[in-house]
Every structure is written in C-alpha cells, then in structure tokens.
Amino acid sequence: MMRKDYISVLDAEDELTGLVQSALDLKKRRGAGENDDVLKGKTLALMFEKSSTRTRVSFEVAMNQLGGRSLFLNPQDMQLGRGESIPDTARTLSRYVDCIAYRAFDHEMVLDLARNSSIPVINALDDLEHPCQALADIVTILERRTPKGLKLTYVGDGNNVCNSLLLACSLIGIDISVACPEGYEPDQSIFEKARKLASQSGSRCDIIRDPKEAVHDSDIIYTDVWVSMGDEEEAKRRLEAFVDYQVNLSLVSLASPDCLIMHCLPAHRGQEITDEVVDGPRSIVFDQAENRLHAQKALLIALLR
C-alpha cells in the first residue's frame, strides 16, 4: 500500500514496480478506448508556484480521464499569497479536496504542507526532487528495455530531476552515472541513499566529470536544462560551466549503437541538446512527455482509490 504522500521517489520504494506496471496497463486500456472512472467524485487541487506545461496538463487530463476533477490554484490568487500559513492552508484544503499536487520552490514547504494535510500530497516538483518525472521516466524505459545490465548516463546539472532519477534507477536496478562539472553535483544525501539502494538492487551509481568517458557504452543518455527555474541569475556562469556537456551527435556516437535519448523537457535547443539529437531517431523525449499522463494516473489511483 502506498504511503499517504508522494514527496520523494522513496515514498514509493516498495511500490515502484507496481506503479510502473499500472501505468503501462492504463496506457494500453486508453489506447484500446477503454475508460477507467475509478476516481469519480474525487477532486485534485493543483497548487503551483512555478509555471508548468507537462505537469499541469497531465494531472488535469489524468483526473478527467479517471472520472474526477481538478482545481488549479495559483498561490498569488490565494490567501497564501497574502501571508496565510502553509499549515492553515493545508488544514483548509483538506476539508475541500481529496489530494493536493504542489509545485514549489522550497522542498520544506512541500513537507510542511504534507505534515499538516489529512489528505495525500504529491510533490509536483520542488528544488530537491521531481518524483513524478522520475516515475514517468522509469515507465518509458521499462516500456522498451529490461533493467538488468542497463546503463543510463545523465549529462548536465545535478538538479532535482537528476536527484529523483538517481533514486528511481537505483531502486529498479539500472546503473546510473552522472556527468557534471565540479560544483554542480546532485544532492549529496540523495546520492548516498542512491548508492545504498544500488548496492541492494545489484546496480551502481557514479559521478564522472568527463562526459565522453561517462557515456561510453551507455544504453540511455539523459539531459536537462542547464538553467532551471529559480537559477536565472546564474545563467551566464552556468552556460560557461556546462559548455562541454552538450548532448550532440559527437557525444552520442560514443554510446551504444542503439542508445536512447531522454530529456524531461522543456529543452533549450542549442544549449544542453542539439536539434539533431532531440529530433533524431534515437530520441524518446516525447514518449516521456506522454507517459507523464499514464504515470500520474497510476499514482493518483494508488493514493486515492
């Protein structure tokens, strides 16, 4: 049984494989024109401090297809924007809706919301993790490959997406290497947790400075933007630091011949990835985007049914 909340990938430590299978089953059923109204009468509140395309749309469509409803809440339009506390907001929303998906700048705010809510809280992205993205990524990978012996290389900034991907890959048994410049490593605590999980699943995780060395014989290359939301003031310094970490045809040529390319989107084309790669035959980035919908549906059912 799922824990009450999904704040971190670790909250689904024992359910990850089941969630992946559920997402794939829901995808097949949708493709066959079958409907699942299992969340009829349920309401999801989407409380978003940051802009969103895939996360917001996939959650809204997921609730609609499952027979429920969603309610979009901009914190600046709520009393939260005028100083109401997170605990009071949590207690109030718990009386109205059945679940809250919170996209926040600060991880502690998500934790505070969950601590004070009597209903499930989903981390729809914060500064530490993006667990919904990682769930969809594993769905996308296992749709095509078996995890045993699989090698994924993440190239770029050790950000929230990287943190969640480290945990998810280590849980499922996929080898993961992070290629990043010094000073842009993933969260140290999460990396240590991932290493322990990898030792249990029979996989491994590493940090390698040289992207060319890191992608050698990789089955999957994954990248994300170099300047995330909230990092705009560091843009110039970041672009200089990551100049050798672009995923281009030259770098991809060093990986396995059937290597897959992943990106959580949005992509800054010409920065972290080139058009030839993101639009190329190895790219599965739009399958990733689609699978956000199916992964979210599986998660909502597990938390609300």
CB 155 within 8 Å of CB 223: yes
> Would 252 be classed as within a structural domain?
yes
Residues 74 and 20 in one domain: yes
CB 19 within 8 Å of CB 137: no
For 211-245, what is each residue's pLDDT tens digit? 999 999 999 999 999 987 777 878 899 999 999 99
Cα–Cα distance between 152 and 134 in angstroms, integer?
13
Burial class (CB in 10 A: 0-12, 13-18, 19+), 50: middle
Residues 149 and 274 in one domain: yes
| pLDDT score, position 223 | 98
Residues 117 and 188 in one domain: no
For 242-282, what is each residue's pLDDT tens digit? 999 999 999 999 999 999 999 999 999 999 999 999 999 99
Residues 215 and 298 in one domain: no
> Would 171 be classed as within a structural domain?
yes
Cα–Cα distance between 251 and 256 in angstroms, integer?
11
For 7-31, what is each residue's pLDDT tens digit? 999 999 999 999 999 999 999 999 9
Residues 149 and 120 in one domain: no
The helix (H) or strand (E) run that includes residue 223 is strand 220-223
Point out the residues that are catalytic.
Answer: 103, 130, 133, 224, 264, 292
Q: Tell me the residue range of the domain where 25 lies.
A: 9-129+292-304
Cα–Cα distance between 272 and 119 in angstroms, integer?
38
| pLDDT score, position 233 | 79
| pLDDT score, position 61 | 98
Beta bridge partners of 263: 223
CATH number at residue 161: 3.40.50.1370
Question: For residue 209, what is the DSSP state?
Answer: S
> Would 56 be classed as within a structural domain?
yes
R_g (Cα) of the chain, nearest Å = 19
> Would 139 be classed as within a structural domain?
no
Would you call the peptide bond into 266 cis, given omega within 30 degrees of 0 as the criterion? yes
Residues 161 and 279 in one domain: yes
Percentage of the chain beyond pLDDT 70 is 99
Residues 114 and 177 in one domain: no
> Would 178 be classed as within a structural domain?
yes
> Would 1 be classed as within a structural domain?
no
Residues 150 and 192 in one domain: yes
pLDDT bracket for residue 294 (50, 70, 90):
very high
Chain length of the chain: 305
Burial class (CB in 10 A: 0-12, 13-18, 19+), 281: exposed
| pLDDT score, position 1 | 64
The C-alpha angle with vertex 196 and arms to 194 and 200, in degrees rounded to 5, equals 110
> Would 137 be classed as within a structural domain?
no
> Would 140 be classed as within a structural domain?
no
| pLDDT score, position 297 | 98
Residue whose C-alpha is closest to residue 22's, from 304, 303, 305, 297: 297
Residues 74 and 182 in one domain: no
Tally of domains in the chain: 2
Residues 161 and 35 in one domain: no
Residues 100 and 35 in one domain: yes
User: Is residue 49 predicted with pLDDT exceeding 80?
Assistant: yes
| pLDDT score, position 35 | 81
Residues 151 and 273 in one domain: yes
User: Is residue 204 predicted with pLDDT exceeding 80?
Assistant: yes
pLDDT bracket for residue 75 (50, 70, 90):
confident
| pLDDT score, position 269 | 97
